[in-house]
Amino acid sequence: MSKGKIVSIHSFRGGTGKSNTTANLAAQAALAGKRVGIVDTDIQSPGIHVLFGLDENKMGKTLNDFLHGKCAIREVALNIGEHAFDAEGRSKLKGKDIWLLPSSIRGREISQIIREGYDVNRLNEGFQTIIKDLNLDYLFIDTHPGLNEETLLSIAISDILIIILRPDSQDFQGTAVTVDIARSLDIPNLILMANKAVPKYDFADIKKQIEETYHAPVAGVLPLSFDLADNASKDLFSLRFPDHEWSKALRGVANAILAVK
Amino acid sequence: MSENISSQLKKSFLFRGLPEEALTAVAQKVSARNLAEGDVLMRKGEAGNSLFMVDDGWFKIVTQDASGGELIINKTGPGETIGEMALLDQAPRSATVVAISPAKVFELKQDAFQEILNQRPDVALALIRGFSSRLRFSTTYIQKAIDWSQKIAAGDYGFIENTQQILKGSESDDDKATQLLSAFFQMVRSVKAREDDLKQQLEKLTLEIDEARRKQEFEDLTSTDFYANLKEQAKQLRAKRMASENEE
């Protein structure tokens, strides 16, 4: 494969476990030997850096700097395979080809970009450039929930769109619109994933209902887990607890992504 | 009169095993009492010193619930005995018994009962057998009830079908143990039905979509210039990437 694939992870509403899922999916792809980049485009409420053990001090240049023309996109990418061995799960990424492009977590910079907006085309160019610069197999994009312009752009340029939903009626309704948009934008690969499913439900039935409703494959139904909540974003859960039910189901989704030609 | 009483005595578990002439001896010691509807036969907490056999009419056995209201724990009618334990242990009455229709009972007072026991060791022995067989019966089912309770707690309801066939063979319909078991099985069936119902509700977690709203929201999002432009850009981008991929 000569060209890297853009994998956008989206959910209609917040709280679906999107950032956590994105980080774990990217980590699984890196473990499988792929060259992986992760962009946090949830500029308004960035969070994925925490899962990789980054704080303000460890962050260098951010996506905000790139969007404001202060640096090249390559300068934003932080090699996780060379850093972040402070937790048991993350340490498994040692020597892997995985880069994180974080958003700024400085309040002033966040409010600035919300106020002034940014050029979505520049963001798009950044994606294409970083894929080329780092010779990525996959660029995972953690999107902002909802369907604002930046998110629509991330969806529009995706080769693979992962939509995460919780099995509840609000998510179900919102996801329907997202699916329609994805079809309208001719996204080549649409994959659904249910997260935070209450374990007493019949997961096979949830999968069936979602697939019948959206006419798209569900790559996994991941359980609501106290263990995961207890991990509190301190580590990459699927690497730290590979035998957990959530981790097993997540690997199913990762495999669905890796299987896309 | 005493023949009628004898035949009544014969129906009760306590005197069932007695020979005819012993029954007659007991029958001579009892006295008949008529009650109107609403009359109280005994009150909870009173000293118990006699046993009653119901000849005619019906009684409710009541106690008080936590908030002081009347709680009917059982109903009893012709052929059944009330308060028999008091003859042996003289403990206070454990419940209040009230006639719910005009009724007639035979009363056997404790001193008369004592007299029979003193005079007739064979009768005493037969009564002890009656009590002990009842106790054994109850103990067996208490043991089973414990076993079943543990199964219910573990969510295993499989015993209901098998066990009920055995219970149907039981002839002692008047027995309290059978009543308890009947209530117990009724409870288990209700619990199981409720659980099944709940399970079905969970499995049928209905995720419905308002199609009109879906359509409206889609139109709102896609009717902008931004969207049209985005769609066109995405299309071009994809074509460009496809082309460069084919080149390589």
Shortest CA distance to A76 belongs to which of A139, A33, A146, A2?
A: A139
Predicted confidence at residue A115, as pLDDT, reads 82
- Residue scoring higher pLDDT (B223 or A42): B223
Q: Are A62 and A102 in contact (CB under 8 A)?
A: yes
Q: Is B248 on the interface with A (CB under 8 A)?
A: yes
Residue B235 confidence class, pLDDT cut points 50, 70, 90? confident
Ramachandran sector of residue A156 (left: φ over 0; alpha: ψ -120 to 50; beta: rest): alpha
Per-residue pLDDT averaged across B177-189, rounded?
Answer: 73
Q: Is the pTM of this model over 0.80?
A: no
Q: What is the SS3 assignment for A45-91?
A: CCCHHHHCCCCCCCCCCCHHHHHCCCCCHHHHCEEHHHCCCCCCCHH
Nearest to B203 among A152, A173, A202 (CB): A202
pLDDT at B169 over 50: no
Residues in chain B closer than 8 A to A186 (CB atoms): 234-235, 238
pLDDT in tens, A143-187: 988 888 888 888 998 999 999 999 888 888 889 999 999 999 999
pLDDT in tens, B10-38: 777 777 778 888 888 888 889 999 999 99
Contact A156/B205, CB-based, under 8 Å?
A: no
| Residue type for position A39 | V
Distance from CA of A153 to the nearest CA of B (A): 7
Predicted confidence at residue B162, as pLDDT, reads 63
Ramachandran sector of residue B122 (left: φ over 0; alpha: ψ -120 to 50; beta: rest): alpha
Q: Is B20 on the interface with A (CB under 8 A)?
A: no
- The number of distinct structural domains making up chain A is 1
DSSP structure class, residue B46: S
pLDDT at B47 over 80: yes
Predicted confidence at residue B104, as pLDDT, reads 93
Nearest to B207 among A156, A169, A200 (CB): A169
> Exposure of A214 by Cβ count < 10 A (0-12 exposed, 13-18 middle, 19+ buried)?
buried
Q: Where are the domains of chain B?
A: 2-119, 130-203, 211-247
Residue B173 confidence class, pLDDT cut points 50, 70, 90? very low
Per-residue pLDDT averaged across B110-122, rounded?
Answer: 86
Q: Is A71 on the interface with B (CB under 8 A)?
A: no
Per-residue pLDDT averaged across B227-246, rounded?
Answer: 81
Tokens of B201: 């509700």
Q: Are B94 and B76 in contact (CB under 8 A)?
A: no
Shortest CA distance to B110 belongs to which of B126, B82, B88, B81?
A: B88
DSSP structure class, residue B209: -
Residue A84 confidence class, pLDDT cut points 50, 70, 90? low
Contact A172/B209, CB-based, under 8 Å?
A: yes
CATH domain B2-119 topology: Jelly Rolls (2.60.120)
Predicted confidence at residue A239, as pLDDT, reads 94
CATH number at residue A53: 3.40.50.300
Cα dihedral sign, B50-B54-B58-B61: positive
Give the number of other Cβ atoms within 10 Å of residue B210's Cβ. 13
Predicted confidence at residue A2, as pLDDT, reads 46
Residues in chain B closer than 8 A to A124 (CB atoms): 233, 237
Find the length of chain A.
Answer: 261
Contact B233/A172, CB-based, under 8 Å?
A: no
Q: Is B136 on the interface with A (CB under 8 A)?
A: no
Query: Residue A22 and residue A101: Cα distance in Å, rounded?
Result: 13
Distance from CA of B157 to the nearest CA of A (A): 19
Predicted confidence at residue A219, as pLDDT, reads 94
Q: Is A57 on the interface with B (CB under 8 A)?
A: no
Predicted confidence at residue B23, as pLDDT, reads 85
Distance from CA of B239 to the nearest CA of A (A): 11
Residues in chain A closer than 8 A to B227 (CB atoms): 152
Distance from CA of A245 to the nearest CA of B (A): 20
Contact A202/B202, CB-based, under 8 Å?
A: yes
User: Domain range spanning residue A97?
Assistant: 5-259
Distance from CA of A252 to the nearest CA of B (A): 23
Per-residue pLDDT averaged across A246-258, rounded?
Answer: 96
pLDDT in tens, B77-89: 887 888 877 777 8
| B 46-85: CB under 8 A from A | none
Closest B-chain CA to A125: B237
Residues in chain B closer than 8 A to A185 (CB atoms): 230-231, 234
Q: Is A82 on the interface with B (CB under 8 A)?
A: no
Predicted confidence at residue B203, as pLDDT, reads 58
Residue A130 confidence class, pLDDT cut points 50, 70, 90? very high
Please provide the average confidence, as pLDDT, over all residues in chain B: 80
Predicted confidence at residue A205, as pLDDT, reads 87
pLDDT at B141 over 90: no
Contact B209/A206, CB-based, under 8 Å?
A: no
Write out the H or E segment, with its range, that includes residue B33: strand B31-35
Predicted confidence at residue B91, as pLDDT, reads 82
**pLDDT > 90: percent of chain A:** 57
Predicted confidence at residue A199, as pLDDT, reads 80
Residues in chain B closer than 8 A to A168 (CB atoms): 207
- For the ranges A52-66, A116-130, B158-172, the lowest mean pLDDT is seen at B158-172
Query: Residue B86 and residue A52: Cα distance in Å, rounded?
Result: 77
Per-residue pLDDT averaged across B167-177, rounded?
Answer: 51
Residues in chain B closer than 8 A to A3 (CB atoms): 241, 244-245, 248
Predicted confidence at residue B207, as pLDDT, reads 75
pLDDT at B1 over 70: no
Nearest to A153 among B205, B230, B248 (CB): B230
pLDDT at A63 over 70: yes
Query: Residue B145 and residue B178: Cα distance in Å, rounded?
Result: 12
Please provide the average confidence, as pLDDT, over all residues in chain A: 90
